[in-house]
Amino acid sequence: MSTATSASPSAAEANFARGLEGVIAGETNICSVEQGKLIYRGFEIHDLAEHATFEEVAFLLLEGHKPSADELRRFKIEVIAERALPAEVIAFLKSCGPMIKSGAAVPMDIVRTAVSILGNLDKDAQDNSPAANLRKAKRLLAKIPTIIGHMQNVIDGRAIIAPDTGGDATLSHAANLLYLMSGEKPSKEFEHVIDVSLILYAEHDYNASTFTSRVIAGTLSDMHGAVTGGIAALKGPLHGGANEMAMEMLKEIMRDVGEKGIGTPAVDSWMQNAFDTKRKLMGFGHRVYKNGDHRAPILHKLGRSLASKDTRNPGGHAAAKWFDLGEQVQKIMLDKKKIHPNVDFPCGLTYFTLGIPVPQYTPIFVASRVSGWCAHIMEQHANNRIIRPLSLYRGPAETKWNK
Ligand SMILES: CC(C)(COP(=O)(O)OP(=O)(O)OC[C@H]1O[C@@H](n2cnc3c(N)ncnc32)[C@H](O)[C@@H]1OP(=O)(O)O)[C@@H](O)C(=O)NCCC(=O)NCCS
């Protein structure tokens, strides 16, 4: 049997869309995701990736318009001033080594908890006014790279880098993120590649994590809570966690076929086995982009160019080999299944080429997407109606407790 609250069974069946596929669940002025184009507040993603910086894109999303030179300068100063973490969050991060080592927590869980603690310490936490929300959004944007950096320092067993300032104020958001993690100031090329990846990851309309954040904000709950929920949703391998899982999958293929197997039918056999066992291949497919994700080729080109120069050798193989393998996997997936890579596939390869530890790939996604989440939380608060859909009841028919 099937019924839905406040709807006739047949109407409910007719309106039901599994996974909300194709359902328009709200309005937004922030982003448009279509097969043909990805637009952030009127600007197309190729244009932004080529001509804007992540700071400009974050301003665009949060403040609603392209910044003037003066507005951008002010925004950067404000964000840089907020990079340092409260002592309580530093203490939590210093204690996270055993949690990660034991396997109970992964870096995404640590970021989620750190953001939640930040909420407990933010004097604006309970204030949902536009001005307070904007202040909190800038703080979150500033502090998440510092959380990631300090956590990586703890994992690496080294002293925390610049805890008082949250990094080097002369560095861009992208460069500072890499610096906080490794203690090394990145080359201009590395900085550019990370910057573009942050632009590509910043916003994507009603994706699962943003929708989660909007549902939380729609109860008039607070921004830190809504971002914490967004992080939990992003972690999943069907969403942001796919950038880590895509790289893990490539490592598995490399282990199974060996370096000499790249470019040979050994990879086809591996893939055929995955198809036969109905395995989901990470970094492929998309709910909206059935004919390809606009963001993937942009990042693929940058990552491939970096790997071809072979500036680092993080996995014990020349970095270009990983792109060779990735391209072969992509081709087989397209030929056999007509499924395109999404942005997480080249992201995994690109971050690997940059020498970033795999468990930090999704936290870096957070460092970017927080700008989109906060823009959506503000939009939800500004024109709120609680988000409360119906469900199709497929449980047992009514019966008496005391028969
Ligand atoms: C992104 C994703 C969750 C979209 O899910 P969705 O819209 O529900 O897609 P569907 O399940 O309707 O996919 C349609 C068909 O393609 C197949 N498919 C989709 N993505 C696939 C993948 N990555 N690997 C293998 N098959 C895939 C599905 O199994 C399904 O086949 P079927 O009709 O024989 O059952 C899904 O493509 C996926 O799990 N991808 C891997 C995880 C990932 O990369 N996530 C990041 C997204 S940006």
Pocket test for ligand 1, best of 209, 284, 290 (most atoms within 8 A of CB): 284
Closest-lying ligand 1 atom to the alpha carbon of residue 275? 25
Mean pLDDT for 335-345 is: 98
pTM: 0.95
For residue 26, what pLDDT is reported? 96
Which of 21, 144, 6, 1 shows the shortest CA–CA distance to 83? 144
For residue 311, what pLDDT is reported? 53
For residue 14, what pLDDT is reported? 87
Instruction: Provide the residue type at 258 as one letter.
Output: G
Residue with tokens 């309005």: 27
User: Ligand 1: distance of its center to the CA of 283 in Å?
Assistant: 9
Does residue 164 surpass a pLDDT of 80? no
Q: Assign 3-state DSSP to the chain and report helix, strand, coil percentages, each to 5.
A: 60, 5, 35
Pocket test for ligand 1, best of 18, 200, 339 (most atoms within 8 A of CB): 339
Average pLDDT over all residues of the chain: 94
Does residue 312 surpass a pLDDT of 90? no
Fold classification of 242-353 is Cytochrome p450-Terp; domain 2 (1.10.230)
45: number of Cβ within 10 Å: 22
Does residue 185 surpass a pLDDT of 70? yes
Structure tokens at 179: 């610096």
Asked if 226 and 373 count as a contact pair (C-beta separation under 8 A), the reply is yes
Catalytic residue among 150, 204, 286, 381: 286
The pLDDT tens digits for 96-127 are 999 999 999 999 999 999 999 999 999 999 99
Phi (first) and psi of residue 39, to 5 degrees: -125, 130
For the ranges 47-61, 151-165, 188-202, the lowest mean pLDDT is seen at: 151-165
Instruction: Provide the residue type at 346 as one letter.
Output: P
Mean pLDDT for 261-286 is: 98
Mean pLDDT for 254-279 is: 97
Side by side, the strands of the sheet bearing 38-40 are 31-33, 38-40, 43-44
Structure tokens at 243: 């950038």
- Sketch the domain layout of the chain as residue ranges: 32-236+368-382, 242-353
The pLDDT tens digits for 2-59 are 444 555 667 788 889 999 999 999 999 999 998 889 999 999 999 999 999 999 999 9
Architecture per CATH, domain 32-236+368-382, reads as: Orthogonal Bundle (1.10)
Mean pLDDT for 368-376 is: 98
Which of 368, 369, 365, 351 shows the shortest CA–CA distance to 182? 351
